[in-house]
Amino acid sequence: MMKPEGEKERPPLISIKGVPMIQYFAEVMDQVDLFEAHPDDLLISTYPKSGTTWISEVIDMLYKGGDEKKCNVAPIYMRVPFLEFAVPGIPTGIELLQKSPRPCLIKTHLPIQLLPKTFWGKNCKMIYVARNAKDVAVSYYYFYQMAKVHPEPGTWNEFLEKFMAGDVSFGSWYDHVKGWWDKKKEQRILYLFYEDLKENSPREIRKVMEFLEMPPDERLVEKIAHHTSFKEMRQNEMANYRSIPKEIMDHTVSPFMRKGITGDWKNLFTVAQNERFDAHYKRQMEGSTLHFRTEL
């Protein structure tokens, strides 16, 4: 396929200890490894397209007492620096963190084996959000199309095969969700599910507050639940990533915040793909106590 005039080639994924990474991210992993966490830093971890921006906005609002003005001072990726982020011409996550007052909120998509050891050593609190694999695969396919730091996704069928094989940025979804799930036995990790947040966000916000040892506050819960609803966040210029340059994220191809629903996979999966996926899923998740809902 010929590139349109003036459009750059998309960079290939680079393997870091067996995990495929966006090339620019792979190039800063040495600096990421050396990062020093503050014991009171809060790490927000997810596999891509699992509600990262949503939970980040929830927690930033909690930290700021529900004050929207304080949250609206900067885009979410400035308020919650993305640890391994690197794209030419934009400050890296590490550079942002070097300037951030500590302790702070930090976002990552790294699987547990690539997370800097300092987070375990300092016993940081962590919040992980997991989303069912079928919806992640669909959302990631659209994201790959608009976020040009990824290789070309190919057809939906080709992308689905890559996703199942773990041949996508940040590697296998299965390894990621299981790795973090098993780690919570020994680490201060609150493990949440995207589907639970969709079903009843006030209940999940209360869980976050309890985990962060904040006093109960129903008015604050209601306010944050409203402010961080998909409808509100999609319109919120400080949360919807529209301020990222078009050559990196092209919202005309697909918006960063596309649908935010559970069960959208049914619109893309064929019957044959679904059967093949289910059989593969069963093998991959065998023996795990982790269970997901694919519809509400």
What residues are annotated to the active site? 109
Contact 212, 190 (CB under 8 A): no
Alpha-carbon span 271 to 279, nearest angstrom: 13
Nearest to 87, CA basis, from 246, 234, 239: 246
- Strand-strand pairing, 125-130 and 189-193: parallel
Contact 183, 130 (CB under 8 A): no
Nearest to 259, CA basis, from 226, 233, 294, 221: 233
CB half-sphere exposure, 279, CA atoms < 13 A: 5
Alpha-carbon span 66 to 228, nearest angstrom: 11
Alpha-carbon span 171 to 114, nearest angstrom: 11
* Helical spans, DSSP H, in the chain: 23-26, 29-33, 52-63, 68-71, 76-79, 93-99, 117-121, 133-146, 156-165, 173-183, 194-199, 201-211, 218-227, 230-235, 271-285
SS3 139: helix
Which two tokens mark 159?
């992308």
